[in-house]
Amino acid sequence: MTERTIRLGELAHIVGQQKTPGSPRGEHDLEERDTADNLMLVCADEHDEVDARETLNIFTVEKLQRIKQAHEDRIRHVTGIAADNTTTVLRMVGRVRGREVELTRQTAAAAVIASADRFPLFLESYSRHGLEIDLRHVLGEAKIDLRDVPGEETAGRDYYRMATDVINDVIEHQLNRGLARDQIAHLSVFGFARLPLLVYLGAHLDDTVPTDIYQRHRHDETWKWSDDAPKVAFNVHVDRDEPPTDEAVLILNISGTIQPEELPARLGQLRRYRISPINAAAAPDVMRHRGSLANFQNTVRSLFSNIEASSKEIRCLHVMPALPLSAAVSLGRVHDRQVHPKLRIYDRTPTGYHCALEIS
């Protein structure tokens, strides 16, 4: 009412200041009663309540000491987190053939804390929710509900056009703005969407920012990496060593297997590269260990380098992905649009594989 700053907090004693019956909890043995260890800063009303005769059996010395200790531990934890141990969480959530998964802020935070020596940072400028790309509901300024757009389950052109517009908007106006203001020093990426969109997201992440990419594991429905899982390696096969033209095919048999006869007819005559696990079968949960994802990234990076060194005439790779979510994001992030062939990412629809989008 006065528009003046007034200190409303009061110093309350846990063990009463005097060892007298009228001093709340004063009968306890304690030599020094005015030290910080025996004081709490509380509001006036709270001070009255904790010292009221009717509540002394509730607000015991032990109870108040626990409250004080818990609060001090929390403040010590929050103020003790070094800036280089924080990470900004980026979540992208969409539907895959009408299905979606739970990927809340709390789920992502728990995975980061359990899997990395970092703490999730949710900036005030991002409404304390980190960065979120929601492909389930509103797309673009037109406020289009994705569920009402024909082609979500069949992955039509309109679906991919609107979805990439949403990704571009968040990247440009939130992620890049945060980077420009030095608010983001590290990223933790969680994505559940159609594979071409995950590759697209990875391709638009700044490759100068340290980034951890997380994987949803089907066997326990969590996003936490497992140090006990096997570390899977990968290699590259050349299934069809045709003389290189300006196009080639890359089959990624990681979470499943794509047979040559499933390829669009036009691609059947092109040189064909295939990446698959060495010491494990292609399966949805093949990447439970973060080291498996690192091995996949190195394998893809090596393939791109070899193409650049020995097959420069290849300017376009038709990518047929059977990939875990994290590997799809990593594929886009490893790809250098200034050096490597452009990528045409295909998606499986009820009528076969069709090109969903291009990264060039």
pLDDT tens-place string over residues 138-182: 343 444 444 444 445 666 788 899 899 999 999 999 899 888 888
Domain range list for the chain: 9-80, 84-213, 234-359
Task: For residues 215-244, give the mean pLDDT.
Answer: 92
Per-residue confidence (pLDDT) for residue 124, from 0 to 100: 43
- Percentage of residues in the chain with pLDDT exceeding 70? 91
Per-residue confidence (pLDDT) for residue 122, from 0 to 100: 57
Closest alpha carbon to 55 in 65, 66, 46: 46
pLDDT tens-place string over residues 259-288: 999 999 999 999 999 999 998 999 999 999
pLDDT mean across residues, the chain: 88
pLDDT tens-place string over residues 317-349: 999 999 999 999 999 999 999 999 999 999 988
pLDDT tens-place string over residues 50-92: 999 999 999 999 999 999 998 888 787 777 667 678 899 999 9
* pTM for the predicted model, two decimal places: 0.75
Q: Which residue has the higher pLDDT, 141 or 251?
A: 251
Tokens encoding 252: 């990624």
Tokens encoding 236: 């590259």
Judge whether residue 252 has pLDDT over 50: yes
Does residue 88 contact residue 189 with C-beta atoms inside 8 Å?
A: no
Does residue 129 contact residue 136 with C-beta atoms inside 8 Å?
A: no
Element (H, E) at 298: helix 290-310
Judge whether residue 129 has pLDDT over 70: no
Q: How far apart are CA 230 and CA 250, in angstroms?
A: 25
Instruction: Return the CATH architecture of domain 234-359.
Output: 3-Layer(aba) Sandwich (3.40)
